[in-house]
Amino acid sequence: MKTAGNKWWKRLLSLLCMFAMVLGTIAGAGAQTSAEAATQTLLNTYGVTFKHSGTCINLYQLKDAGQLAALKRDYNSITLENEMKPDSLMWGSGTLSVSQAKNQGYYIPDNYKESLVPTINFGTVDQVLKICHDNGIKMRAHTLLWHSQTPHRFFHQNYNESQGFVSKDQMDARLEMYVKTVMNHVYTGSYGDVVYAWDVVNEYIHATNSDWERVYGKMGNYPSFCKKAFQFAYETLEYFKRADSVELFWNDFNTYMDADKELAIVNWINGEKKICSGIGMQSHVGTNFPSPDYYCSALNKFLAAGYKVQITEIDVSNSGQQDFDNYVYKLFQGICAAQKKYGRITGITWWGLSDQTTWIDNQKPLLFSSPGVPKSCYYKVLQAYTEAFGQGGVVPTAAPTATPKPTAAPKPVVDPASAAKVAEGWYYIKNVNAQKYLTVKDNQAKNATNIELATGSGSNGQKWYVSYNNDGYLTLKSKVGDFNADIAYGADEDGANVQIYENYGGEAQQLLLKKASGNNTYYIFTRCSNGTKAFDAEESGKTDGTNIVQWSYNEGKNQQWVFEAIAQPTATPKPTATPKPTATPKPTATATPKPTATPKPTATPKPRRTVKYTAIDLDGDVSLGRLF
């Protein structure tokens, strides 16, 4: 028994020792993992893989040594919350003469015909640029064009709100003056290298109470002033040789709800040349909406279209810490997966350094409770990163280039030099295959109304006026009003809808003809497809209501259209009456003129009382205290 007991005791001791060794190994591994996790920050993870890890800040915070130190631990990029918006830069000191402005380095374009220029104050911005330069921090410039936080007088004659709005041409000149003056100031200064991105246009789609709209009118998916802002900004970057290193963004909120519309406008802005680098997704999200999957579907759509994306203003409204943790972990799993696939997300900016400075009342929507004090959601964001990329910061290898290599554009079937012509005037336009007419649905004079086939009726919706521009392209104007045939969103794709849209002269409304067999029969090609696609009755339909789309040229009868000139009624001239012989006038007795009555004095009108109305900005964002 004693021998057996000793053996049992030795065996037990051996097992206990092995167990202790295993526990020690596990504990050591756990300690190592914890140590590695403790060394992770947003800066050495997201700041490497996404290039810019950012936060929203104000000058007073940058001057606070403690807040600046907390910022530098996790971020290498800042966005000024309000201090670079138009109302912060303009009019601290009234107006200047043009000569004074030029002496101070303002950019005054040749078409600027006014005598006054608003004062632009760069004092705060200059301090911020220097602090960023001295501390190795980059900066997103936010924002050049916005309907909110822009002084109303910027849009009025003589920069005076009591006078009327300026013309579109005047506003074009003011816009160029402002955009180029601000950008020139940054890049001619000593610290311009810190600015790596600009929000050129902010929240166009969701604009309310917009002075831009009061000057230019409703512009839908073709906002000329937005496109001009990008053109002016891009010209400035080219001048300073920064077009390849600085990115220009279209920035908006609720992009996940309007992804197709956002893309359509940005595609139109880039129609002639890529001047908009990508889309800024503001990302003021909540755990109840949008879902991470819904958000990431838009993110991936923008990336798949070849654009860069910056997540520009993220915060998360929530019902509690666990709710926040679960949501942000799933959201950043999706964001990391998108970056791993495309590699074109070039920055993530949290909208506030901590919950102490959030713009959202009664919420704790940020990763830090106070500067430098992380919450559990902070570690969830890091966990999502580690699962996607591992412990160390990883530069993505998938699709590393900013834009996919362009594929050679197909040769146009027809161009202005070889296009057929018909005389300018009114026509019915009949589809050869269906023997039915190009018709505005329900004769409705409204933007984006479909064009379809219908039996001939002679209605205004079937009458089209052909006119030519200086480039040799034609437009088809509908008799229902000042609307042209238009390719939806100016898309260059098979199946793009043919509709009517208010006459603005863009490429989506410009067409070319190619002669087909048969009298007065033509193919109708679209400029937005570079002359490769033509009007087509969808799926070769022949019934009333068949939708008209553009489709790649195939020489089919379904793409052939007969132009039937509409005879204009000629007014029948009235027969000229035979002139009656003129009677010899009888001599008129000279009447003694009656004395002219002395006119009664006109009562001096009472002066009208001038009522001065002060417009109150009821923009939804501002009324909610929304300053982003």
DSSP string, 347-381: EEEESSSSGGG-SSTT---SSEEETTEE-HHHHHH
Encoded tokens for 231: 């053109």
Strand (E) or helix (H) holding 467:
strand 464-468
Q: Which amino acid is it at 271?
A: G
For residues 263 and 271, is the Cβ–Cβ distance under 8 A? no
Taking the C-alpha atoms of residue 382 and residue 378, their distance in angstroms, rounded to an integer, is 7
For residues 186 and 120, is the Cβ–Cβ distance under 8 A? no
For residues 526 and 487, is the Cβ–Cβ distance under 8 A? yes
User: Any catalytic annotation for residue 114?
Assistant: no
Catalytically annotated residue among 176, 203, 313, 507: 313
Taking the C-alpha atoms of residue 165 and residue 177, their distance in angstroms, rounded to an integer, is 17
Place of tokens 């004062």: 119
Place of tokens 């990508």: 278
Task: Please name the residues in contact with 185: beta carbons below 8 A apart, sequence gap of 6 or more.
Answer: 105, 120, 122, 125
Q: Please state the length of the chain.
A: 628
Helical pair 259-269 and 224-239, crossing angle rounded to 10 deg: 60
Among residues 292, 500, 512, 325, the alpha carbon closest in space to that of 420 is found at: 512
Taking the C-alpha atoms of residue 489 and residue 305, their distance in angstroms, rounded to an integer, is 15
Taking the C-alpha atoms of residue 548 and residue 281, their distance in angstroms, rounded to an integer, is 34
Q: Which residues pair with 500 in a beta bridge?
A: 449, 485
Planar angle of CA 174, 179, 180, nearest 5 degrees: 100
Burial of 235 (0-12, 13-18, 19+ CB in 10 A): middle
Taking the C-alpha atoms of residue 550 and residue 528, their distance in angstroms, rounded to an integer, is 10
Distances (CA, A) of 337 to 260, 293, 296, 341, 380: 21, 12, 9, 6, 15
Strand (E) or helix (H) holding 179:
helix 168-188
- In the chain, the largest separation of any two C-alpha atoms, in whole Å, equals 169
- Phi, psi for 622 (deg, rounded to 5): -70, -40
Distances (CA, A) of 398 to 53, 179, 607: 20, 35, 74
For residues 201 and 251, is the Cβ–Cβ distance under 8 A? yes
Beta strands at 425-431 and 561-565: parallel, antiparallel or unpaired: antiparallel
Taking the C-alpha atoms of residue 448 and residue 381, their distance in angstroms, rounded to an integer, is 43
Give 419's DSSP letter.
Answer: -
For residues 373 and 317, is the Cβ–Cβ distance under 8 A? no
Distances (CA, A) of 323 to 16, 365, 611: 43, 11, 53
For residues 416 and 424, is the Cβ–Cβ distance under 8 A? no
Mapping DSSP to helix (H, G, I), strand (E, B) and coil, where does residue 101 land?
A: helix
End-to-end CA gap in the chain: 84
For residues 185 and 105, is the Cβ–Cβ distance under 8 A? yes
Q: Which residues are the active-site residues? A: 313
